[in-house]
Structure 1
Amino acid sequence: MSEKQFEGFLAEKLINWGAEHFYKGYRYQFQSPDKSNSKKLFDALCARKAGHIAIRQVEMPFIQVGGYKLLVVLHSEDEGEGCSENFIFLIFEM
């Protein structure tokens, strides 16, 4: 199985599992010591996005999981690569 196929498979499994197991207000995260793996999963989830939500003038992609809109966020402290921990915390507190 190629990496691209695996990331797509993982994204679909997450969406299907989440439809029955996600709860409002919870923070779900995938962590990898390899930034490229995180980016590949982020891209696979973004390929399934249902739309965007503007948060502080930043367009954040979301996927529809059951009755919920799950924001897809890539954590990175490197500018232009994703969102900082502070911004992610801000999103969670909204």
Structure 2
Amino acid sequence: MGRKHTVTVPLSDADRARLAELAAARKESEEAVASETVHAYLCVQARHVAEIARALEEAEQPGAGFVPHEEVAAWVESLGVDRPLPVARRQADR
């Protein structure tokens, strides 16, 4: 692992208390828990950004298909009934 840097992050009183409780429960320093938390968050966000970029690239390809909003909305609304609608399919898949 490379050099460590210190940053200041404002926390609400509630989050500060949660950090302290978690650190105590894990028998680790608050700094260690906060550092691990930031690392995990950055990893998740990097995956999200990469997936969004991949999806946008796919959407820009010729023949890319989309499910109309109305069909998705109807499907979502049907999920709470005994016989929900089938999953909407992309127009290119039809």
- TM-score, length-scaled by structure 1: 0.27
User: Which is richer in helix?
Assistant: 2
Higher strand share: 1
Between the two structures, name the one with larger relative contact order (CA 8 Å, sep ≥ 6): 1
TM-score, normalised to structure 2, is 0.27
**Max Rg structure:** 2
